[in-house]
Structure 1
Amino acid sequence: MNITRNNVDALNAIVTIELAKEDYQGNVDQVLSNYKKNASVPGFRKGAVPMSLIVKQYGKAVLFEEVNKILQDKLNNYLVEEKIDILGNPLPVSNESFDWDADVLKFDFELGLTPEFTLDLEGKNKITKFKVVADDAMLDEQVEFIQKQYGKLVSKEAVEETSDLVGTFTNEEEGINQEATLPVTAFRTKTNQKKFLNKKVGDQVTVSTKGLFDDDHKLMEYLGLDHDKVHGLEVDVVFTIKEINETELAELNQELFDKLFGEGVVTSVEQLKEKIKEDAEKQFAGQADQKFVNDVYEHLLAETKFDLPAEFLTRWLQTAGETPMTAEAAAAEYAKSEKGLRYQLVEGKVMSQYDLKLDFEEIKAYTVKLIKDQLAQFGQAEPDEKTVEDIVARVMTNQDEVRRISEQVMNDKVLVLFNEKVSAKEKEVSYKDFVKEMYGE
């Protein structure tokens, strides 16, 4: 057996595998011998069928199968041993004049090679690293939310300015049929708010989605739409009232503070706001970090230039799925997936260029911390170590959980790297403004 490689260019190569009869004939003979032992052919006892008849009936099929097994095994081993990074899978080169009776069988395979490139994390950029703060307006909203959450719900016969509505938004043409709970004050204009006043259960109110709320993103929540659809949406929706409620706000007293945070932890409204601010900004920090990581990747994707074996990948896509694609369909699919492929290559290069690796102990330690944090939320601040170990052991047997945790640990490593290497402008914003930055507005 002989394997050679010819690099057509930096992104394409041909691997040639030559098999002599001694490379595969023993395997073929063994399989045919097993067929002979078990073959049932009329006129012959089981196991007494002449080998010539077995070869005539099964020889070619067995030859094809055994040669294919050897080819797959040898090609895969060759790629690993030679450390050849490829995109897609090797494509066999068609040869209409191939002779299966030749002394040496010669097979060619096309390879799409992974492009070589380097990343520059320390170069110039326009990346902003956001610090999200809980401003006074948000803290007041959160305090009122808590008061409503722990307040008393009172049913009303007719809608008032302070009412909370439960109902369904519908628009058949747009496929909208979404139940929502929202206060009358959620509607941005007084004109729309007045449409609901004095309405009763069962009544319907028609409103336009244009400027319906103070932020178009609320259409995602209240109408059940995705992000791309809500911007510029201007259709009428019908809101059918199912419930009209009024919330008597809970009193901001020590009983409520103890219920929220434990006895004596918070003793005043000022401390309550400080606690809300602290917890909210921890959550915001995680979201801001993720945006920073995403923005760095987008910057690298835009600034790092490299070619791909586009023609090879398009032909590979034609045969990669369960159903073969036409050349036109494969070209369209490649065009759609090219950015995602480039993104994956940039992610992989970050890990290889900066030697970011994971080991089992890191994953396990992160899982231990995760479990302890979760137990603490349920009042077990100092859980028994045996209990933690048992839970961790169960988690580590779940491949999906291990994959998810591994991705998070690697994401944390990438964040540390980007914070160290990337020179970004820092900007302090409210959460409302951060949401606008998140969605490019």
Structure 2
Amino acid sequence: MNITRENIDALNAVVKVDIAKEDYSDKVEKILSDYRKSANIPGFRKGHVPMTMVKKQYGKAVLVDEVNKLLQDALGKYLTEEKLDVLGNPLPKPQDDLDWDADAFSFEFELGLAPEFEVDLKSKKAITHYNIVADDKMLDNQVEHIRKQYGKIVSETEVSKDSEITGVFANEEKAINNSTTITLDKFKGKATEKKFIGAKVGDVITLKTKGLFKDDHDLMTFLKVSHDDAHGLDVEVTFTITEINSRELADLDQELFDKLFGKGIVTSVTELKEKIKEDSEKQFAQQGDQKLLNDVTEYLVDNTKFDLPAEFLQKWMQTAGETEMDAEQAKEEYEKSEKSMRYQLIEGKLIEKHNLQVSFDDLKDHAKEMIKVQMAQFGQTNSSDEELEGIAARILSNKDEVKRLSEQLMSTKLLNLYKSEANLKTKEITYDDFVKEFYS
């Protein structure tokens, strides 16, 4: 067997594999001999079928199968030994005139080669890492929310500004019929609020869905419409009031503090706010980190310049998926996924350069921490290490879970790399301002 490579350019190559008769003949003969021993052909005793008949019936199929196995094995070894960093998979060149009656065969494969490039994490302009904080306004709102949540429900005869209104949103055409409880601060604009103020149980209020809520996604919550329907929904709905309540705010006393955090952990309003601030900012840190990860990714893709073997990749995409694509569809798919491909190459370069690895111990420790957090949410805070080990083992026996956790851990390792190596500046921002700036 002989394998040669012709480099077309820095990103494309053709590998030629020449297979001679001596490369496959012994294996083919052995398989045909085994067939002969077990072949069931009318007119012949088992094991006494003439070899010529076995070859006539099975020879071509066995030859094709063995040559293809030999070809794939040889090609795989060659790519590994030559340390060729290929994109996609080798594409066999069409051979309409291949003669399987010949003794020797030649096959050619197109290769798309990964580009050579360097990754520079030190951007000229510093990338902002947002430190999201809970300000006094937010803390006061959270305390108010807690007092309402644990307060006493009081029935009212008519709607006031702070009422909790239970009723049914309905629209026959859109099959909307949802019972829900809502407060007036959810609505957008004073006009809707005015329709409710003074209303009584049994009253029916007609509303337009367009611009009804401050956030259109609330249509999904209160009207139970789909995400797609929520955007741009412009119909008339009725709201039939079935119940009106208000809440007497709960006292900020030790009984409430113990109910929220456990006996004696919080003993004053000041400590309550400190606890809320601490818990909130832990969650905000995750959002700030995700924003940083997204921003550094964007910077790297935009500023790490290299070419891709676009023509090869589009050709490969035509047959790589579950359903085949024509050239135009492959081109569209390539254009949609090019950015993702570029980042995968950049990420791979960073992982290799900085030796970022996810070990089994990393996965196990991560799984155990995740389990502890989940169990704590249900009040289980004293699980034994043996119990955690058992649950972690079950999780890590699932390949999909291992893949998901590995990706999470690698993302964390990359984030830590960016924090230590990238040109960053820290900016403190309140949660409300962060949401307005990036998600409104």
CA distance in 1 between partners of 2:308 and 2:177 (Å)? 44
Change (3 A) 1:269 1:361: same
> Structure 1: which 5+ runs fail to align?
none
**3-state DSSP of counterpart to 1:65:** helix
Percentage identity across aligned positions? 53
Q: Which shifted more, 112-121 or 150-159?
A: 150-159
8 Å Cα contact 1:32/1:54 also seen in 2: yes
CA distance in 1 between partners of 2:3 and 2:164 (Å)? 74
Establish whether residue 206 from structure 1 lines up as the match of residue 224 from structure 2.
Answer: no
CA distance in 2 between partners of 1:138 and 1:273 (Å)? 10
Change (3 A) 1:433 1:225: farther
**3-state DSSP of counterpart to 1:148:** helix
Establish whether residue 185 from structure 1 lines up as the match of residue 185 from structure 2.
Answer: yes
Change (3 A) 1:199 1:50: farther
Match of 1:8 in 2: 8
Amino acid paired to 2:207: T
Superposed, which structure 2 residues align to 1:135-150 within 5 Å? 135-150=135-150
CA distance in 2 between partners of 1:257 and 1:367 (Å)? 31
CA distance in 2 between partners of 1:53 and 1:38 (Å)? 13
Match of 1:265 in 2: 265
Match of 1:235 in 2: 234
CA displacement at 1:92 relative to structure 2: 0.5
8 Å Cα contact 1:158/1:244 also seen in 2: no
CA distance in 2 between partners of 1:39 and 1:202 (Å)? 86
CA distance in 2 between partners of 1:270 and 1:234 (Å)? 44
Q: Which shifted more, 280-289 or 151-160?
A: 151-160
CA distance in 2 between partners of 1:193 and 1:46 (Å)? 91
Match of 1:414 in 2: 414
Match of 1:244 in 2: 243
Change (3 A) 1:185 1:341: same
1:213-268 superposed Cα distances (whole Å, 9 cap, x missing partner): 445565675566659985xx473452544753424232222111011111122122
Match of 1:277 in 2: 277
Amino acid paired to 1:134: A
Match of 1:437 in 2: 437
Match of 1:427 in 2: 427
8 Å Cα contact 1:297/1:346 also seen in 2: no
Superposed, which structure 2 residues align to 1:292-371 within 5 Å? 292-371=292-371
CA displacement at 1:285 relative to structure 2: 0.6
Amino acid paired to 2:268: S
Match of 2:403 in 1: 403
Amino acid paired to 2:333: E
Match of 2:103 in 1: 103
CA displacement at 1:343 relative to structure 2: 2.4
Q: Which shifted more, 18-27 or 145-154?
A: 145-154
Q: TM-score, normalised by structure 2?
A: 0.89
1:21-74 superposed Cα distances (whole Å, 9 cap, x missing partner): 121122222222232223222222233222212212222122111111111122
CA distance in 2 between partners of 1:278 and 1:246 (Å)? 33
Q: Which shifted more, 407-416 or 213-222?
A: 213-222
Q: Which shifted more, 294-303 or 76-85?
A: 76-85
Change (3 A) 1:379 1:221: closer
Change (3 A) 1:113 1:182: farther
8 Å Cα contact 1:169/1:240 also seen in 2: yes
**3-state DSSP of counterpart to 1:124:** coil
Amino acid paired to 1:66: E
Q: TM-score, normalised by structure 1?
A: 0.88
CA distance in 2 between partners of 1:148 and 1:217 (Å)? 24
CA distance in 2 between partners of 1:170 and 1:116 (Å)? 61
**3-state DSSP of counterpart to 2:40:** coil
8 Å Cα contact 2:112/2:309 also seen in 1: yes
**3-state DSSP of counterpart to 2:276:** helix
CA displacement at 1:377 relative to structure 2: 5.1
**3-state DSSP of counterpart to 1:17:** strand
**3-state DSSP of counterpart to 2:305:** coil
Amino acid paired to 1:391: I
Change (3 A) 1:240 1:131: same
CA distance in 1 between partners of 2:49 and 2:109 (Å)? 38
CA distance in 2 between partners of 1:199 and 1:105 (Å)? 88
8 Å Cα contact 1:159/1:196 also seen in 2: yes
Change (3 A) 1:220 1:295: farther
Superposed, which structure 2 residues align to 1:165-184 within 5 Å? 165-166=165-166, 181-184=181-184
Amino acid paired to 1:244: E
8 Å Cα contact 1:204/1:240 also seen in 2: yes
CA displacement at 1:303 relative to structure 2: 1.0
CA distance in 2 between partners of 1:138 and 1:225 (Å)? 30
CA distance in 2 between partners of 1:409 and 1:228 (Å)? 36
8 Å Cα contact 2:217/2:230 also seen in 1: no
Match of 1:256 in 2: 256
Match of 2:151 in 1: 151
- Equivalent pairs counted in the alignment come to 437
Amino acid paired to 1:399: K
Q: Which shifted more, 34-43 or 301-310?
A: 34-43
CA displacement at 1:409 relative to structure 2: 2.1
CA distance in 2 between partners of 1:431 and 1:388 (Å)? 34
CA distance in 1 between partners of 2:86 and 2:92 (Å)? 14
Match of 1:56 in 2: 56
Change (3 A) 1:128 1:390: same
> Structure 2: which 5+ runs fail to align?
none
CA distance in 1 between partners of 2:334 and 2:422 (Å)? 32
Match of 1:68 in 2: 68
**3-state DSSP of counterpart to 1:76:** helix
Q: Which shifted more, 28-37 or 415-424?
A: 28-37
Establish whether residue 46 from structure 1 lines up as the match of residue 46 from structure 2.
Answer: yes
8 Å Cα contact 2:154/2:245 also seen in 1: yes
CA displacement at 1:181 relative to structure 2: 4.4
Establish whether residue 112 from structure 1 lines up as the match of residue 112 from structure 2.
Answer: yes
Amino acid paired to 2:136: D
Amino acid paired to 2:134: A
Match of 1:18 in 2: 18
CA displacement at 1:131 relative to structure 2: 0.9
Amino acid paired to 1:162: D
Change (3 A) 1:124 1:151: same
